[in-house]
A and B are shown apart, each in its own frame.
Chain A
């Protein structure tokens, strides 16, 4: 079998969902004839037609609002945000309509909002964000962030099948950079379950998205020094897999939460707080975070590199933490 890219895995996951379930439809800007700004929906229009691959005006609030309405009526909309940054334009529909709807008066909102997030492609402030922190506190949402080809396929499938509103953050840096073989009939991945990406005994890195690959690289380097990192890939950011988080902390007693977000109000802070509350007795060192800087995403390459976590910085911080 040939290798599949992360992008192709998402595409195939959605394609299969469209084939399997006629309630599933795609909606977003330039997703039809153009196949999406990153070509994730390439070929969908030809196969599924205009009724199920809907090109929209530039109206994020209308797109998400319409998806919510259709979802309540039993459809399974998958919304593409051209860049995830534009999700801000639909913030109200997501946090005030979709998220609390079921809790307030019953109807489920089986909707997926997906799009490319993340930096390291010199997209500057409005084409590089990781907005999970903005949404993490909204009860009623699920948030997914695949880091591997298998999870890209499995989680988009699970997201579409889930009866709740799901935000699906694809990392654009990974789109064409990572490849793996997918089985003939890949299975959906259960939402809410983290994945142990690497077993180790000395220190746990808890991470997700593109940062998983930074952690795995750092683990290889540190292994040479005799430090064995355990790497936990959260992949579901909401609801968090507390069990898996606590299990790794109890095992290694030292933990660093790595995420590609500005530090303040980050998901990393939430994970760190949970560990401090529930696993204090197991800790040999303070829980640490490695995040981006508390600045907007800078544009110039040296500044962006300074802003983002990377392997070098991670290795240095882990060395410090392991000698605490």
Chain B
């Protein structure tokens, strides 16, 4: 019987706090990674507060515990590359230049939000910044990002397209159709499959018969790799390799990042279906704390520096939250605008 959570690659089985993947990244860049992971967590924590105060309109979806997958992968992209994040990839968007106020105003449905209140949560994009907005229908972005990669090649641009999928999302037809198309066309597409144990209440064992999502790459004849999704350096390095392969004409890569969803599906879901031991086990592998130990242990940063990064984030967020709270809701008539170009 498949357990869904199959054997992790050796790195992931090391006790928490052990050495992270090798990297060429220097101290400054590693501190940037730390900044973005911490920023992601703090933005989500603020949103969670606002949700409890009834300020968030609709649902709130968190990537708590998965910050390394978003931040590490987005960090490996060049400025000309494109990215299609999904609901738990706030970190990727922040790396890509999205400002916390954009996220706050979106979730609070204000007129100042990137969609002017037309859509919510992280459902927005900006082609100028190489960001394609998702739709809720899981898997749908994969063929679309293959199309972005295709156009890039046709236009002689050296761009790579990166997108994400959850373990559950890999069951959709669009996932298979998109990846297969990208494969036969050798398109520069990188797909990060975040294997976080559950799809809403459904454990991976009810989602697929293989332990490793990366195994699916074999079926399309493309490169597949399994990584420790709670090691930001491992995520960065694997994505960098995949991006290089894609740029060099080596076609798509499916990267499976083993991680865990540390909250319910959304803020309203208490995740009662997850055995508490799993939360305890994965709390020890918290990607931010682990990275903190690494930075300090390798003397890449001091306690004071890390504290300063956090303090700066908090002050910044105060202003962003205030901005969103003070922003008015959009005028109702704006609902009519923009149906057509």
Contact = CB atoms under 8 A, between A and B. Distances in A.
Given A30-B200, A33-B201, A300 B171 contact: no
B339 A57 contact: no
Interface string A32-44: 1110010000000
A302 B273 contact: no
Interface stretch (A12-20, A66-74, A117-125): A117-125
Given A55-B202, A302-B331, A295 B336 contact: yes
B58 A293 contact: no
A57 B58 contact: no
Contact of A127 (B115, B136, B207): B136
Contacts of A126: 135-137
B117 A57 contact: no
A57 B207 contact: yes
A88 interface: yes
B199 interface: yes
Given A298-B335, A299-B118, A122 B173 contact: no
Nearest to A61: B173
Interface residues of A, number: 41
A157 B91 CA distance: 47
Given A57-B208, A305-B332, A33 B273 contact: yes
Interface in A36-79: 37, 55-62
A29 B206 CA distance: 10
B111 interface: yes
Interface in B199-216: 199-202, 206-208
B119 A295 contact: no
Contacts of A86: 136-137
Given A295-B335, A305-B332, A306-B332, A124 B120 contact: yes
A37 B57 contact: no
A288 to B, nearest CB: 20
A32 B57 CA distance: 28
Contacts of B336: 293, 295
B333 A298 contact: no
B329 interface: yes
Interface string B94-115: 0000000000000001110101
B134 to A, nearest CB: 10
Nearest to A85: B136
B33 to A, nearest CB: 31
Contacts of A300: 57, 109-111, 113, 117-118, 329-330
Among all A-B residue pairs, the 7 with the closest Cβ atoms: A300-B117, A306-B332, A57-B171, A34-B201, A126-B136, A300-B109, A303-B335
29 contacts: A29-B202, A30-B200, A34-B273, A57-B206, A58-B171, A58-B172, A59-B171, A60-B172, A61-B173, A62-B173, A85-B136, A86-B137, A121-B58, A122-B109, A124-B118, A124-B119, A293-B335, A296-B118, A298-B119, A298-B335, A299-B109, A299-B115, A299-B118, A300-B110, A300-B117, A302-B330, A302-B331, A302-B332, A303-B117
